[in-house]
Amino acid sequence: MASTTPSVSCRTAADGSVASVRPVILERASIWLAATNTFVLARESGGPALIVDAPPNDDGLAALLARHDLYAAALLVTHGHIDHCGGAGSVTRTNGVSAYVHPDDDFLTLNPGEQLRRLFGGMIPGDYEPPDLYEPLHHGQQLDLAGFSLAVRHTPGHSPGHCCFYVEDEGLLFSGDQLFAGSIGRTDLPGGSFPQLMESMATQVLVLDDEVIVHPGHGPSTTIGRERASNPFLVEQ
């Protein structure tokens, strides 16, 4: 399990001035079979938290929340693949919160059993029920949750309903399986499209500042600038 808990007190603005910003608690765990990153984002200990992605592992997520005595305010799901959304039903029921998912991924989000049968040839032990509290996402939507303002960027390609969540005030992008450190999301699964993923990359991701920190669905964090300069899939974009 990996974690990071930055406490940000100031930021240099474009004009060179220093602006005060509120503290940020950011925790990450890589869990389940695919070592999927789930993130917990909060302003202060003992307060509400945002969860980004819910692999089928209640214990890992519960440990992240407990580390700072946080309680869940909402679950943001980057896309409907089982390793990112398989625990959504358990999270919504246990915490009484809604899962925010793009409806273009309903064929995935609402049919976890079909995904498991396709991947493993049958069901495997665990709770994979779809979320019972559901809020549909749309491109350009602005969410104000748990003290954070997030912009929804619809980035189809890895899946039809894939979304990235951009927290502009903090310079953070939760990229799901759109962009990784040194790589990009696969496009050979149902609903995937390489040209569409690259169009999403050009119009919704690479337009962000180099300093934006990218927290992907698998692997270590990176920055837009680092990937723009060295990611073999992006250097010619």
Question: How far apart are the C-alpha atoms of 24 and 107, rounded to whole Å?
Answer: 34
Helix, coil or strand: residue 221: coil
What pLDDT score was predicted for residue 20?
A: 38
Question: Where in the chain are the domains?
Answer: 10-230
State how far Cα 40 lies from the chain centre.
Answer: 10
Give pTM, 2 decimals: 0.91
More confident residue, 157 or 17: 157
What pLDDT score was predicted for residue 123?
A: 76
- From residue 135, how far is each of 76, 138, 205 by CA, in Å? 9, 10, 23
Q: What is the pLDDT of residues 196-230, one digit of tens each?
A: 999 999 999 999 999 999 999 999 999 999 999 99
- Residue percentage of the chain with pLDDT more than 90: 80
**The CATH number, out of the four listed (3.40.1190.20, 3.40.190.10, 2.40.37.10, 3.60.15.10), of the domain defined by the range 10-230:** 3.60.15.10
Q: What is the pLDDT of residues 31-79, one digit of tens each?
A: 998 999 999 999 999 999 999 999 998 788 999 999 999 999 999 999 9
Question: How far apart are the C-alpha atoms of 113 and 82, rounded to whole Å?
Answer: 9
Q: Is the predicted pLDDT of residue 5 greater than 80, yes or no?
A: no
Q: What is the pLDDT of residues 112-131, one digit of tens each?
A: 989 988 887 877 778 899 99
Question: How far apart are the C-alpha atoms of 45 and 166, rounded to whole Å?
Answer: 22
CB 149 within 8 A of CB 143: yes
What pLDDT score was predicted for residue 149?
A: 97
Q: Around Cβ 218, how many Cβ atoms within 10 Å? A: 17
Q: Is the predicted pLDDT of residue 109 greater than 50, yes or no?
A: yes
Band (16; pLDDT cuts 50, 70, 90): very low
Mean pLDDT of the chain: 90
What pLDDT score was predicted for residue 17?
A: 35
Give residues with Cβ within 8 angstroms of 62, minimum separation 6.
none
Q: Are strands 134-136 and 10-12 parallel, antiparallel or unpaired?
A: unpaired
